[in-house]
Amino acid sequence: MTKPTEEILLNEAEKPIDAKTVASHMREIIKLVGEDPNREGLRKTPERFEKALKFLTSGYNMNLDTVLNGATFSVCYDEMVIVKDIEFFSLCEHHVLPFFGRAHVAYLPSKKVLGLSKVARLVNMFARRLQIQERMTSQIAQAIEEKIAPQGVGVIIEARHLCMQMRGVEKQHGQAVTSAMLGAFRHNKQTRDEFLALVRAKK
C-alpha cells in the first residue's frame, strides 16, 4: 500500500533559510573546531556555506505539481519507459556529508506518460533534501505512481557515500544499490528482468 502524496513529500511549504542566522552559526562552528573565522581564507566562508546549503536543500521548497508543471500526457502506449543514468547529488541526513550517483527510473504507462525531463527533475527534487538513499528511492517511485497511476514503477539508485569513504570504515570503492518496485515491476518477473537488463546494458 502506497502513501498519499502528503506523506511522500516532506516540508513542501516554502521555508526560506534565514541567511544571516545560518552564516552566524557557521561562524561559531568554525571557532569551535579551533579556527579563526576572521582570517582571510575563512572570512566569507559562513556566507558561502549558507548559499551552498540553500541550493543543496532546495528540494524542500519544491512540490510535485510545480516540478511536473502539467507535463503529464494522455498517450496510447503501454511499453516500458525508462530514463537511466540520471546523475544526482544529495546530503546524508546522518552526517550531512554528500552521497552521489545515478538513478534509473522506469514505468509501464496505463493512460498517461511523463515528460522525460520531468523524471530527472523529480529525482533532483528528492535528492536536494537531507536524505537516506533508501527513502529517496521509495519517494521517487511513489510519486510517479501517485501522479500517473501506471501499471508499475521501478527505481534503482546506485550511489557512493562520503560518510563511508571519508570516515568510519573509509572504503573508497563501496557503493550502495537500492531499489523500489511497485505494481508490475514487483509482481511480474519478466517486467522486472527487462528493467534490470536495460539498466545493465552498455551504451
Q: How many Å apart are CA 32 and CA 107, to the nearest integer?
A: 49
Contact 131, 100 (CB under 8 A): no
Q: How many Å apart are CA 20 and CA 27, to the nearest integer?
A: 10
pTM above 0.95, yes or no: no
Q: What is the mean pLDDT of residues 170-188?
A: 89
Looking at residue 5, its pLDDT comes to 42
The torsion of the CA quartet 130, 10, 8, 197, rounded to 10 degrees, works out to -30
Q: What is the mean pLDDT of residues 160-172?
A: 79
Domains of the chain, first to last: 5-9+71-200 (3.30.1130.10), 19-56 (no CATH)
Q: How many Å apart are CA 87 and CA 124, to the nearest integer?
A: 9
For 67-76, what is each residue's pLDDT tens digit?
998 888 988 8
Above pLDDT 70, what percent of the chain? Answer: 88
Give the E-state strand segments of the chain in sequence order.
72-74, 81-92, 98-108, 112-114, 130-131, 152-161, 176-183
Q: Which residue has the cell 545493465?
A: 200
Q: Which amino acid is at 131?
A: Q
Mean predicted lDDT score pLDDT of the chain: 89
